Structure 1
Amino acid sequence: MAAAKKELQLQLETQVNALQKFQKDIAKNHQVRRQYTIQHGENEMVQKELELLNDDANVFKLIGPVLVKQDLVEAKTNVNKRISYITAELKRLDATLKTLEESQAAKRDEVLRLQQRIQGGQPGKGRA
Structure 2
Amino acid sequence: MAASPALRELQHDLESQANALSKIQKDVAKNHQVRKQYTIQLGENELVLKELDLLNESSNVYKLIGPVLVKQDLAEARANVRKRIEYISTELKRLDGTLQDLEDKQSSKRDAVLKIQQRIQAVQSGKSKS
Q: Match for 1:59: what amino acid? A: V
Shift of 1:120: 1.0
Quote the residue 2:55 is aligned against: 53
Partner SS, residue 54 of structure 1: coil
Partner SS, residue 122 of structure 1: helix
Quote the residue 1:68 is aligned against: 70
| Structure 1: distance between partners of 2:11 and 2:17 | 10
Within a 5 Å distance, the mapping from 1:31-110 to structure 2 comes to: 31-110=33-112
Partner SS, residue 59 of structure 2: coil
Shift of 1:115: 0.3
Which consecutive residues of structure 2, in runs of 5 or more, have no partner in the other structure?
Answer: none
Quote the residue 1:27 is aligned against: 29
Which consecutive residues of structure 1, in runs of 5 or more, have no partner in the other structure?
Answer: none
Aligned identity (percent) is 66
Q: Which structure 1 residue ranges, 4+ long, deviate > 2 Å from structure 2? A: none
Shift of 1:18: 0.3
- TM-score, normalization by structure 1: 0.95
Q: Match for 2:48: what amino acid? A: V
Structure 1 residue 117 and structure 2 residue 119: aligned?
Answer: yes
* CA deviation vs aligned residue, 1:25-48 (integer Å, no higher than 9, x gap): 000000000000000000000000
| Structure 1: distance between partners of 2:109 and 2:66 | 47
Number of equivalences: 125
Partner SS, residue 116 of structure 1: helix
What RMSD in Å do the two structures reach over aligned CA positions?
A: 1.2
Shift of 1:106: 0.1
